[in-house]
Copies of this chain bind each other. A is one copy, B any other.
Amino acid sequence: MARPERRTMRDVRRNNQAMLLRTLYFAGPASRLELTGLTGLSAATVSSMTGDLLGENIIIGAGQVDSDGGRPRALLRVNPLYGYAIGVDVSETHVRVELFDLAMHERAKVEYVLRPARHDPELVARHILAGVDVVLSDAGVPPEQVLGVGVGVPGIVERGDGGLIHARSFGWDGVPLAALLRAGTSLPLHVENGAKAMAQAELWFGSGRGTGNAVIVLIGAGVGATVVAEGATLHGVTRSAGEWGHTKIVVGGRPCRCGGRGCLEAYIGAEAILERAGAPTHTAGWQEELAGVLASDSPVVAETLTYLGVGLANLINLLNPEQIVVGGWVGHLLGERLLPAVRAAVAENSLAQPYAATSIVLGNLGPDAVALGAATLVLEEFLSAAPAARMTAAV
Contacts and interface: CB of A to CB of B under 8 A. Distances in A.
A319 B242 CA distance: 6
A239 B320 contact: yes
A318 B242 contact: yes
Interface string A24-38: 001100000000011
A366 to B, nearest CB: 23
Contacts of A353: 156, 158, 166, 238, 240
A349 interface: yes
A358 B354 CA distance: 28
Contacts of A212: 2, 237
Interface string A234-274: 11111111111011111101000010101000000000000
Contacts of A322: 237
Nearest to A230: B232
A181 interface: no
B234 A229 contact: yes
A321 interface: yes
A344 to B, nearest CB: 14
Interface stretch (A3-11, A138-146, A334-342): A3-11
A23 interface: yes
Given A249-B248, A306-B251, A227 B318 contact: yes
A79 interface: no
Contact of A231 (B2, B7, B39, B317): B2
A307 B229 contact: no
Contacts of A260: 348-349
A236 B243 CA distance: 20
28 contacts: A3-B27, A4-B19, A156-B351, A156-B353, A158-B353, A166-B353, A227-B319, A229-B234, A234-B319, A236-B320, A236-B357, A237-B321, A238-B353, A238-B357, A240-B320, A240-B353, A241-B318, A241-B319, A243-B318, A243-B351, A243-B354, A244-B317, A244-B318, A248-B314, A249-B249, A249-B251, A250-B250, A251-B307
